[in-house]
Amino acid sequence: MKHLSLAAVLILAGHSVAAAQSCEKNFKATGVPLVTPVYFKTWQDFPKLKPEAALQRLARGVAAEGFSGIEINKELGTIEAYQDTAGSGRLQTLRVVARKRGAGTRIDAMFDIQVGQVATKQVVQEGLCNIIRSAVD
């Protein structure tokens, strides 16, 4: 009986960990490269992180990923920034939002590229998830 209840606890603990979604699993891209704007989005929950504490770390993560024009709005819990990787003056925009969710924080990251620009999903996913994880680094 003791072994059965221990097994049940382990199964339930594993289930709750599996229910927590990672940044990579939440990643989505919409749009048609070169034809329409492409929107990349992902998010992750951090159970015991305060939004205010995350915001400054997130801004450093945004800078580390090569973004410029970083603007932090503490009142809204947002960071906006841009990149001009092609040197064309056509900017790619980034928005990161840290908002209270229960006792923790949900962080959303959105990256948009304009018509005629391309970015691989893998590179964008890695960059956005690096930014999101910077909230706890």
Cα separation of 84 and 86, whole Å?
6
pLDDT for residue 7? 39
Complete DSSP assignment for the chain: -HHHHHHHHHHHHHHHHHHSPPHHHH-EEES-TTTS-EEEEEEEEETT--HHHHHHHHHHHHHHTT-EEEEEETTTTEEEEEE-TTSSS--EEEEEEEEEETTEEEEEEEEEE-TT----HHHHHHHHHHHHHGGG-
Half-sphere exposure of 92 (CA within 13 A, CB side): 22
- Tell me the C-alpha to C-alpha distance, in Å, between residue 20 and each of 98, 123, 125, 131: 17, 23, 18, 18
pLDDT for residue 87? 67
pLDDT for residue 20? 57
How confident is the prediction along the chain (137 residues), in pLDDT tens digits per residue? 444 443 333 334 443 343 458 999 999 999 998 899 999 999 999 999 999 999 999 999 999 999 999 999 999 999 999 988 666 677 899 999 999 999 999 999 999 998 888 889 999 999 999 999 999 98
pLDDT for residue 43? 98
pLDDT for residue 6? 38
59 neighbors 80 (Cβ within 8 angstroms): no
